[in-house]
Amino acid sequence: MAQIFPDGWNDVIVSGAAKREIETLGVLHVGLPDTYAVYHGVHWTKLNKGFSVFGEADFVVVSPAGRVLVIEQKSGSLEETPDGLVKLYAGTSKSVQVQIARTIGGMHKRLSSAFGAQNYKLEEMLYCPDYRVKNPAISGVNPERIVDATRSDQLVQIIEHILPVDELAQPCLPRLHAFLADELALTPDVRSIIGEVNRHVTRVSGGLATWARSIEFEPFRLRVIGTAGSGKTQLAVRVLDDAVKAGKRALYLCFNRPLADHLRHIVTHGATVLTYHQLCQQAAVRMGLDIDFSDPRVFEVLERTLLDMQFNESERFDTVIVDEGQDFREAWVAPIERLLRKNGRFWWLEDPMQNLYMRSSVALPGWVEVRAMANHRSPHDVVQFVDMLSDSPMKIDAAGPFTRSDLRTITYAGSSATQATREALNEALAAGFSPADIALLTFNGRDKSLLLMLDQLGRHRLRSFTGAYDEHGSPRYREGDITAETIYRFKGQSAPCVILTEVDFERFDDAVFRRLFVGATRATMKLIVVMSERAEAQLVRRVA
């Protein structure tokens, strides 16, 4: 697999064109050998007559010999005009040829300045995976270097042809990767900082994933109680990776469907990722039962089906991980344990502070228990904010990369938080966060939220769960560029900027505190809390 720089690319919330670029990164990561490196979002800056000129390359691929290929990706539709290919942006058309020329020209100047004009090789490519170029001859781009929808499945092979693996090394090779890594840091904006945050969190919170995997005992039954941001998800991913690499069957189970869908995209191919009720659904399908997801009692029926199911040896797993264990019922433990092979390894990951459904803790007698109470993800002032609201010190170590995130609160009067949420969204965008970096999280459930009834907030469309499922039990979503979710469904995930909105309650109690804890600790860089006047009054009295 190719090396991807910066890392953390497959653990972000994106939509639209950004999502298409992440998909391309996935193709390059899996398809190219590990001797190739792929840089994405490579920025450089130069001064031109007193003005800063910015250029951006979607992808820069470096061969083992140091030959460089700049890939400009244009997702969606293009237009072919007598002057060449053009792309529409918010009603304005821009020449693809001019954009590529500027990008290549900027890169030539930077490479030439760093290594000398004869000491590097620079290639170019236009990648338009959603569009078929009908007349390449007048496109304004070298036809041989256009990979359109008709050749998108050959992208990796074409790159390897342009960047041969067996040519002599370029003179720039010894310093090329350091040069490109430095270029990534030339624009100190929110986007580049997000990359740094991802690297820090991945590196530091990976400690749990390292030491917990070193524990050995039989039978292997390990309960990990970890606070938000302690690295439980990284631990799960690494355990699944270990099992798959060892040729063993591995199963990951969680409660929330969005978390399962998220994990399915980042874990090693070969691991099985399901919610508990998806596992029940598979059992029902195997038994030939018809499943009616419009029946309000469908989940009870599914749970009974799994209880009655018997598994043969080929269906069992060597490793089983339960994540979000605080949301599981004790009655679910026995059918899960029946899925384990002899000497199988059973991991149970949970955070009691994220027990939003107020369920009783599952008893796991005889299990080894470890605790991880360092939050490596959230800014320090966010951890301090929730700590001030607790009845007693939570003993959570604020170990995130930021000491302060300038935590903001915005208060609204009446019953509608829409205008205040729009204000918070505009503030986040003005701070440099892109729509893909922002998560709008409602303090309410979906049925009580006015926000989640909206298709659009300001000029931005909201991507949210409609509450409906298709015939296969998959949730249906509205299309949009900003994620809007409940805190219940967003548990286990995070975003650089979180707007926790519709925060309203008459009386501060443990259930309210848990919801505030979960919502606030989703943020890795910025938290904005939009609350009612009466909720603000309760919190002021709480910390007074």
Exposed/middle/buried for 506, CB within 10 Å: 0-12, 13-18, 19+? Answer: exposed
Structural domain includes residue 537: yes
Same domain, 165 and 28: yes
Structural domain includes residue 389: no
CATH label of the domain that carries residue 317 = 3.40.50.300
Q: Say if CB 3 and CB 36 are below 8 A apart.
A: yes
DSSP symbols for 343-405: EEEEEEEE-GGG-TT-PPPPP-TT-EEEEE-EESSS-HHHHHHHHHHSSS----EE-SS-S--
> Which residues contact residue 44 at a Cβ distance below 8 angstroms, ignoring those fewer than 6 apart?
54, 55, 106, 107, 110, 183, 186
Q: Which residue matches tokens 């409940």?
A: 486
| Residue 477, pLDDT score | 86
Omega prior to 6 cis, within 30 of 0: yes
**C-alpha angle 504-520-444 in degrees, rounded to nearest 5:** 35
Domain boundary among 313, 342, 375: 375
Stated as kind and residue range, the H or E segment containing 308 is helix 298-308
Report residue 229 as tokens: 């941001």
Structural domain includes residue 423: yes
Beta-carbon count within 10 A of 154 CB: 11
> Which residues contact residue 223 at a Cβ distance below 8 angstroms, ignoring those fewer than 6 apart?
325, 348, 350, 364, 367, 368, 369, 370
Same domain, 310 and 354: yes
- How far apart, in whole angstroms, are the C-alpha atoms of residue 141 and residue 74? 13
pLDDT in tens, the chain (544 residues): 999 887 656 544 444 566 788 889 999 999 999 999 998 865 444 333 333 333 467 899 999 999 999 999 998 889 898 888 888 876 678 888 888 888 898 889 889 999 999 999 999 999 999 999 998 887 777 899 999 999 999 999 999 999 999 999 999 999 998 888 766 543 334 544 555 555 555 544 456 878 889 999 999 999 999 988 888 988 999 999 999 999 999 999 999 998 998 888 888 889 999 999 999 988 888 888 887 777 788 888 888 889 888 888 999 999 999 999 999 999 999 999 999 999 999 999 999 999 999 999 999 999 999 998 888 778 888 888 888 888 777 777 776 655 666 789 999 998 789 999 999 999 998 887 889 899 999 999 888 899 999 999 988 999 988 878 776 667 788 889 999 999 999 998 889 899 999 999 999 999 999 999 999 999 988 999 999 999 999 998 887 6
Structural domain includes residue 382: no
| Residue 99, pLDDT score | 87
Same domain, 256 and 355: yes
Task: State the sign of the Cα–Cα–Cα–Cα dihedral 286, 288, 292, 298.
Answer: negative
Same domain, 100 and 161: yes
| Residue 378, pLDDT score | 82
Report residue 340 as tokens: 């384990």
Residue 144 belongs to domain spanning: 3-187
Same domain, 165 and 261: no
pTM of the complete model: 0.61
Beta-carbon count within 10 A of 117 CB: 9
Domain boundary among 132, 155, 187: 187
| DSSP 8-state code for residue 252 | E
Report residue 20 as tokens: 């298409």
Structural domain includes residue 527: yes
Structural domain includes residue 383: no
Residue 52: C-alpha distances to residues 20, 43, 44, 190 (Å): 29, 12, 10, 17
Terminal C-alpha separation, the chain: 55
Q: Could you tell me how far CA 109 lies from the centroid of its own chain?
A: 34
Same domain, 222 and 365: yes
Same domain, 369 and 251: yes
Report residue 446 as tokens: 């979906």
Structural domain includes residue 381: no
Structural domain includes residue 380: no
Same domain, 163 and 289: no
Same domain, 151 and 205: no
Domain boundary among 375, 407, 427: 375
Report residue 77 as tokens: 């539709």
Same domain, 53 and 168: yes
Q: Which amino acid is at 405?
A: S
| DSSP 8-state code for residue 269 | B
- How far apart, in whole angstroms, are the C-alpha atoms of residue 64 and residue 67? 8
Domain count, the chain: 3
Q: Say if CB 41 and CB 56 are below 8 A apart.
A: yes
Strands of the sheet with 408-412, listed across from one edge: 408-412, 523-532, 495-503, 438-442, 482-486, 460-463, 456-457
3-class secondary structure, 263 = helix
Same domain, 36 and 177: yes
Q: Which residue matches tokens 């020209």?
A: 105
> CA dihedral in degrees (523, 525, 527, 528; nearest 10)?
-130
Same domain, 331 and 354: yes
